[in-house]
Structure 1
Amino acid sequence: MKLLQALFFPPEQPGGVSSMIPSLQERFNSPHWEMELFSLPKRIRNKGHEPVHFHTFDWCEYEESPIVQKYIQTYKDYIWWTKLRLNKPYDLIHAHHPIAGLAMKEVFPETPVLQSIHSSYERELLLNGRIKAGSLEQRFLTSLYRELEARTDRLFTVSHSFKSYLTDYVDHPEQIGIIPNGFDERRFKPVPHENEVTQLVTVCRLVPAKGLDILLRACKELKERGLNYVLHIIGDGPIRKELEDLAKELGIYNETIFYGYTLHPEEFVPFFDVFVLPSRAEAFGSVFAEAALCSLALVGTDVGGISEQIESGSNGLLVPVGDVSALADALEQVIIDPAFRYELARTGSDHAKQHYSLNRVVYELKKLYLEYQ
């Protein structure tokens, strides 16, 4: 069976779908399966010029928005690149971004295209303050879900909560499938260690949606309570300087280390003790599963895919979104009680191996793909 995995970003950075799909290719390497990966190189800009027509709405109603214009141009570029580079037939295409799915169906209208939706661009833009609720951009981006439903052969997402989110934007939400992300356990190697001072770590893009301002304020409370810790922030983004300034203002800059972007954080994350990320929204939250596989205790917000991964008090701790004191209380629990922290980490690792292993995803996908043979 000839399969094409259509990504948006090149699979060159770890985390989520970017790391899962190349690992899938290795697991599908057998005489019965032939899998290729395809994505749009970052160097491709303003190459596509064909007019765009959607089947379920008129995108021109939103064309005055620069964000919409950029999105449409990227879609045109993806179609141009697809026509330039792909000319052989496939039995099935599995797309992992709306642009990829719609472009593939445009170029290969007779080929079954399965569409996985891993995250919500409009929610990210809203939470990061780049667009407003009810704006042209939000209405355009949410209209794409119904277009995907109409054009592709089946929709999937990564969590029950995100499926619920999509309900308002499609005609048949009951037909949306759920396939959580899977992770290659070989990438994550827990390291036995004893840190005299509890080491907290977070890995994310530095944007408002990740709630790192809440984390820094919670860490200020920890310091005021006389608790010792070090916070490691791995990642980069547009609000890095703002967060560094906030850490200084709160008097916790000496306890906080900003690493910037790191290509393979899983290589040293196992040496820390607690993974914490107070996101304001997450479709799935791949970093929690990855941190669990590194045997770290998990602390997150009771939102989206995070709350589907964590049973609070069993394999991690959940706190309300935006609640500084509740986050500080949860972190205090895992700082002052190492035995409790180790138990959370052990249970979290077992849960992640059982529910989010790459073998499980491979098994589910093979069954699914064979339905289209």
Structure 2
Amino acid sequence: MNILQALFFPPEQPGGVSSMVPYIQERFIKMGWGMELFSLPKRVRNKGQEEVSFETFEHRDFEDNPLVAKYIQTYKDYVWWTKLRLQKSYDIIHAHHPIAALVMKQLYPDTPLIMTIHSSYERELMLNGRIREGGTEHRFLTSIYRELEAKADLLTTVSASFRSYIAPYVDRPEAIKVIPNGYDEKRFKPIAHDNAVTQLITVCRLVPAKGLDILLRACAELKERGCPFVLHIIGDGPMRKELEALAQELNLYDDIIFYGYMLHPEEFMPFFDVFVLPSRAEAFGSVFAEAALCWLALVGTNVGGIGEQIEDGVNGLLVEPENHLALAEALEKVVSDPIYRHNLARAGWNKAKKEYSLQRVITQFKKVYLGLKPEGSAT
């Protein structure tokens, strides 16, 4: 059976898709399956000219909006690039972005299509202050969920909480299958170490949705309490200058290291002690599972898929979002008590190894693919 994994970004981009799909491809190929990756290069801009139409709503009602116009042009570019580059047929197409899914169904209408919804673009834009709930952009982007439901043969998503988020925008949320992300254990190599000062690390795009302003205020409180630490921030984004200025304002600049973007942070993480990320929303939170597999203690917010990965006080610590004092309290527990920190990290590693293994994902998707296998196709 020949399967196409249709991505939006090239697989070297950061995020849950890039940290999973290429390894899924590798495993399936080893099992004798055919599997290819396809994505839209960043250099392809304003090439597509074909008209776009949707089945469940009229996008022209939104076309005067700049964000919607850019989305539609990107759709056209994906059509143009797909027609230029793909010349063969596939038994199944598995898409990992709404544009990829809708374009593939347009160009391969008779091929079974699976769509995995990994995250919410509109929620990220709202949290980052770029759009408002109920506004033109929000109504357009949430309309896409019902269009995906109409076009895909199967919808999957990465957490039960994210399925609940999608529920108001589709007709049959119960039909959406939850398959959490999985990770190749071989990529993660815990390293025994004994840091004299507790090393905190966070890995994310530097945008408001990730709550790093809350993290810095929690660290300022931690410093005020006399708890020594160093915070390592891996990632880049539009908030970097603002966060650097806030670190100076809070007298934290000597306690924080900003690294910028890093392609494989999992190679770096095992040398640290605690992973912390106070996200304001998260569909799954792939980086928590990755940090757990590096044997780091986890501290996160009780939102989305993070709350499904962490059982508070058992394999990590959960706090409510927007509460820097609660976050400081949680960090103080893991900074001041190395044994407690070690036990949380071990429990987190055990759960991640059991529930977020790549083999589990392979088994689940293999079953899905075989269930959608067209008549006469070989495995």
Q: Partner of 1:80 in structure 2?
A: 80
SS in 2 for 1:52: coil
Q: Partner of 1:291 in structure 2?
A: 291
Q: Partner of 2:97 in structure 1?
A: 97
Distance across 2 between alignment mates of 1:30 and 1:305: 30
Query: AA paired with 2:226?
Result: G
Query: AA paired with 2:271?
Result: F
What do the CA deviations read for 1:99-140 (whole angstroms, capped 9, x no partner)? 000000000000000000000000000000011111100000
The structural deviation recorded for 1:243 is: 0.3
Matched, 1:229 2:229: yes
Q: Partner of 2:65 in structure 1?
A: 65
Query: AA paired with 1:162?
Result: F
Distance across 1 between alignment mates of 2:354 and 2:332: 28
Q: Partner of 1:162 in structure 2?
A: 162
Q: Partner of 2:29 in structure 1?
A: 29
Distance across 2 between alignment mates of 1:16 and 1:258: 22
Larger deviation: 21-30 or 135-144?
21-30
Q: Partner of 2:194 in structure 1?
A: 194
The structural deviation recorded for 1:30 is: 4.3
Distance across 1 between alignment mates of 2:152 and 2:14: 27
The structural deviation recorded for 1:230 is: 0.4
Mapping of residues 40-51 of structure 1, within 5 Å? 40-51=40-51
Query: AA paired with 2:115?
Result: Q
Distance across 2 between alignment mates of 1:145 and 1:257: 39
With structure 1 as the length reference, what TM-score do the two structures score?
A: 0.99
Q: Partner of 1:126 in structure 2?
A: 126
Gaps of 5+ in 1: none
Distance across 2 between alignment mates of 1:251 and 1:65: 42
Distance across 1 between alignment mates of 2:118 and 2:14: 15
Q: Partner of 2:307 in structure 1?
A: 307
Query: AA paired with 2:178?
Result: I
Q: Partner of 1:177 in structure 2?
A: 177
Distance across 2 between alignment mates of 1:101 and 1:57: 17
Distance across 1 between alignment mates of 2:17 and 2:264: 15
Q: Partner of 2:19 in structure 1?
A: 19
Q: Partner of 1:275 in structure 2?
A: 275
Q: Partner of 1:342 in structure 2?
A: 342
The structural deviation recorded for 1:261 is: 0.7
Query: AA paired with 1:99?
Result: I
Distance across 1 between alignment mates of 2:294 and 2:215: 21
Q: Partner of 1:216 in structure 2?
A: 216
Q: Partner of 1:144 in structure 2?
A: 144
What do the CA deviations read for 1:230-263 (whole angstroms, capped 9, x no partner)? 0111000001000000010011111011111111
Gaps of 5+ in 2: 374-379
Q: Partner of 1:8 in structure 2?
A: 8
Q: Partner of 1:256 in structure 2?
A: 256
Distance across 1 between alignment mates of 2:239 and 2:212: 10
Distance across 2 between alignment mates of 1:262 and 1:26: 23
The structural deviation recorded for 1:205 is: 0.2
SS in 2 for 1:29: helix
The structural deviation recorded for 1:31 is: 6.5
Q: Partner of 1:319 in structure 2?
A: 319
The structural deviation recorded for 1:32 is: 4.3
What do the CA deviations read for 1:169-192 (whole angstroms, capped 9, x no partner)? 000111000111111111111010
Larger deviation: 30-39 or 90-99?
30-39
Tell me the matched-pair count.
Answer: 373
Query: AA paired with 1:89?
Result: S
Matched, 1:241 2:241: yes
The structural deviation recorded for 1:19 is: 2.0
What do the CA deviations read for 1:135-173 (whole angstroms, capped 9, x no partner)? 100000000000000011111100000000011000011
SS in 2 for 1:54: coil
What do the CA deviations read for 1:261-283 (whole angstroms, capped 9, x no partner)? 11111111110000000000000
With structure 2 as the length reference, what TM-score do the two structures score?
A: 0.97
Q: Partner of 2:371 in structure 1?
A: 371
Query: AA paired with 2:159?
Result: S
Q: How has the CA–CA distance of structure 1 residues 359 and 223 changed in structure 2, closer, same or farther, with 3 Å as cutoff?
A: same
Q: Percent identity?
A: 70
SS in 2 for 1:17: coil
The structural deviation recorded for 1:15 is: 3.7
SS in 2 for 1:242: helix
Distance across 1 between alignment mates of 2:269 and 2:138: 36
Query: AA paired with 2:263?
Result: L
Distance across 2 between alignment mates of 1:144 and 1:177: 18
SS in 1 for 2:18: helix
Q: Partner of 1:117 in structure 2?
A: 117
SS in 1 for 2:19: helix
Q: Partner of 1:135 in structure 2?
A: 135
Query: AA paired with 1:222?
Result: L
Query: AA paired with 1:82?
Result: T
Distance across 1 between alignment mates of 2:15 and 2:348: 18
SS in 2 for 1:304: coil
What do the CA deviations read for 1:14-45 (whole angstroms, capped 9, x no partner)? 54111211101110014741001110011111
SS in 2 for 1:344: helix
For the aligned residues, what is the CA RMSD? Answer: 0.8
Distance across 1 between alignment mates of 2:358 and 2:254: 39
